[in-house]
Structure 1
Amino acid sequence: SLLATLATAPICLGRRCGVPAISPLVQYNEKIINGHNAVPGSWPWQVSLQTRSGSHFCGGSLITMPGRAPPYSHVVVLGEYDLTSNSEYLQVKTVSRAVTNPNWNPNTLNNDITLLKLSSPAKLGPRVSPVCLAPANLVLPTNLPLVTTGWGRISTTCTYAPALGRQVVLPLISPSQCTQYWGNRITSSMLCAGGVGASSCQGDSGGPLVYQNGNVWTLAGIVSWGNSNCNVRWPAIYTRVSQFRNWIEYVVSQG
């Protein structure tokens, strides 16, 4: 696959969401090249999906919780920043249920979203809290600055995840612009962002693409796919969360 075949976002429809207790440092007017390290704990909805041996393989966003845990082979790690640290207070959760959108197409990568129900409730605090979900049918303006975060590869020659969580500001690209790069692969279930010297890459898949409104951060997209060598001059593709807001609420209501 390119970036990933599945955008895995653990669930959470919290009453208070999208307001980090630790403020992120985002400078929208700087010329972002390849991103930089995030302030520790400033993206408290960012989770790391890991093997049981502790190897990070993709990201996710905390959006709810509860349930019993079957023997899934992966775990969800909340509160992570430094993958090499043994001193961070982490919450490691198994997964009690995984629900992939019924219209997911592994050939076209369309409708690329899976909800993971955590085995037990996350303990919310300064370094673990949910992001807000984009409302259904949300229309965002072209060139809106968006932020994506994660532990994905930082260069085409790097084969391992960086130790520290990173962030980068990317502009939203219009569908018409996006089709100039990707043709008819682009659907209404996708967002296009980047192409200005930075990109998501392998290991970021499933992670958040958020925008700020006042002091509230909202999940607009989920890292999905892109150029196989993470070409920073090509925009990457993100699952359009607003397209799935009603489906998410339906799945959550079913427990």
Structure 2
Amino acid sequence: MTFTIFSITCFALVASALGCGVPAIKPQTIGSKIVNGQNAISGSWPWQVSLQLPSGFHFCGGSLINQNWVLTAAHCTVAVGYHRVILGEHNRGSSVEPIQVKLVSKVITHPLYSSTTINNDIALLKLSSPVTLTPRISPVCLAPSTINILPGTRCFTTGWGRTATTSNPLILQQTGVPIISPAVCRQIWGQSTITDAMICAGASGSSSCQGDSGGPLVCERSGVWSLVGSVSWGRNTCDTRFPAVYARISQLRSWIDRTIASN
């Protein structure tokens, strides 16, 4: 037990020193919903980004992982020099929020991504210029490849995706969702459908939905938030009785690190 507490404390200190995963504005973590979600506190998920068309239409989410890179879903098919990365946004209907807008200079999709099976559903976006970090804009920590998240652990996903089958909110939404074991998830979705590069969460009355794709699934430990998943797929009807499926960051971590280091 002493070793476990020591390890958690060390992780928190290292994460804090690296400047990731510790929001300056603390999130409200009591409650539920994205489908059946709740409004987030403004600025409390500072790594959340909105991917938008030049018109301002939001089509996917993403996570800031350092000053130069955003992680999103490969199936979002972001285009260099065209799509916008919006950081620090809370209310998409506001014109006075201190947001930063970046273009994308490079899109690197996981080489084993399959649009058929939706396996390895992540892409890295290199920004046109470094982000200026503020209390409302800061990176999330990446889950280490060795992380073990127990089934039932309550984590959070955020986004501007549909809150019903037809409506997209202007205010950033959040929901707490339990991690589902791979065995249970395979029973629901099929043995061959759920791969080691996927992690499941939800089936608890709340879920991510269309428009949330690419956005974060984060878990907190000792005050530090780590990105454990990126919204990938689920039921077309956003049925909250079924778990949503996320790209598993721990499984893909080595590729992420190598790609950033070489680009």
Same fold (TM over 0.5): yes
Structure 1 length as normaliser, TM-score?
Answer: 0.89
1:180 corresponds in structure 2 to: 187
The 1:209/1:71 distance shift into structure 2, 3 A limit, reads closer
Picking from 117, 127, 130, the partner of 1:121 is 130
1:74 corresponds in structure 2 to: 83
CA contact (8 A) 1:207 1:222 kept: yes
Picking from 15, 20, 40, the partner of 1:17 is 20
The Cα of 1:90 is off from its aligned counterpart by 0.9
CA contact (8 A) 2:42 2:90 kept: yes
Amino acid paired to 1:40: S
The 1:142/1:215 distance shift into structure 2, 3 A limit, reads same
- Please, which runs of 5 or more residues in structure 1 have no aligned partner? 1-13
CA contact (8 A) 1:94 1:118 kept: yes
2:173 corresponds in structure 1 to: 166
Amino acid paired to 1:38: A
CA contact (8 A) 1:206 1:222 kept: yes
Structure 2 length as normaliser, TM-score?
Answer: 0.87
- Whether 2:63 is the aligned partner of 1:61: answer yes
Runs of 4+ in 1 over 4 A off after TM superposition: 30-33
| Distance in 2 (alpha carbons) for counterparts of 1:210 and 1:240 | 11
The 1:173/1:73 distance shift into structure 2, 3 A limit, reads same
Higher helix share: 2
Picking from 43, 46, 49, the partner of 2:48 is 46
CA contact (8 A) 2:80 2:107 kept: no
2:229 corresponds in structure 1 to: 221
- Whether 2:210 is the aligned partner of 1:202: answer yes
- Whether 2:96 is the aligned partner of 1:94: answer no
Amino acid paired to 1:19: V
Give the secondary structure class of the aligned counterpart of 2:66: coil
1:148 corresponds in structure 2 to: 157
The Cα of 1:53 is off from its aligned counterpart by 1.2
Picking from 236, 239, 244, the partner of 2:247 is 239
| Distance in 2 (alpha carbons) for counterparts of 1:102 and 1:146 | 28
Count of aligned positions: 236
| Distance in 2 (alpha carbons) for counterparts of 1:50 and 1:31 | 26
Give the secondary structure class of the aligned counterpart of 1:186: coil
CA contact (8 A) 1:65 1:119 kept: no
| Per-residue CA distance 1:207-249 (angstroms, 9 max, x = gap) | 0000000110000000000001100100000000001111111
CA contact (8 A) 1:134 1:242 kept: yes
